[in-house]
């Protein structure tokens, strides 16, 4: 897929563990791993909003479009 998830980059920038984000956002660590590894087919706006709040970032910091 042409959409790249850069959740691990943001986590590193914020020096935050996936476990901590999972607790802040309120979704399971398994689902966050699916998202982080780029295996997710879709992301709810509600989830994106929660992640942006937890990481204090913009959606563009997490999602990136790359031409194939």
Q: Are 5 and 38 in contact (CB under 8 A)?
A: yes
Contacts of 15 (CB under 8 A, 6+ apart): none
| 39 near other proteins, judged by CB under 8 A | yes
Residue 63 CA to its chain's centroid (Å): 8
| 32 near other proteins, judged by CB under 8 A | yes
16, 18, 29, 43: residue in contact with other proteins (rule CB under 8 A) = 43
41, 65, 67, 68: residue in contact with other proteins (rule CB under 8 A) = 41
Q: Is 29 helix (H, G, I), strand (E, B) or coil?
A: helix
| Sites of contact with other proteins (CB under 8 A) | 27, 31-32, 34-35, 39-44, 47
């Amino acid at each position: 897929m042409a959409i790249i998830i850069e959740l691990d980059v943001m986590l590193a920038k914020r020096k935050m563990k996936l476990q901590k984000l999972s607790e802040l956002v309120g979704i399971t660590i398994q689902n966050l791993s699916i998202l982080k590894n780029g295996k997710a087919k879709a992301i709810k706006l509600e989830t994106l909003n929660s992640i942006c709040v937890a990481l204090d970032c913009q959606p563009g910091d997490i999602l990136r479009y790359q031409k194939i």
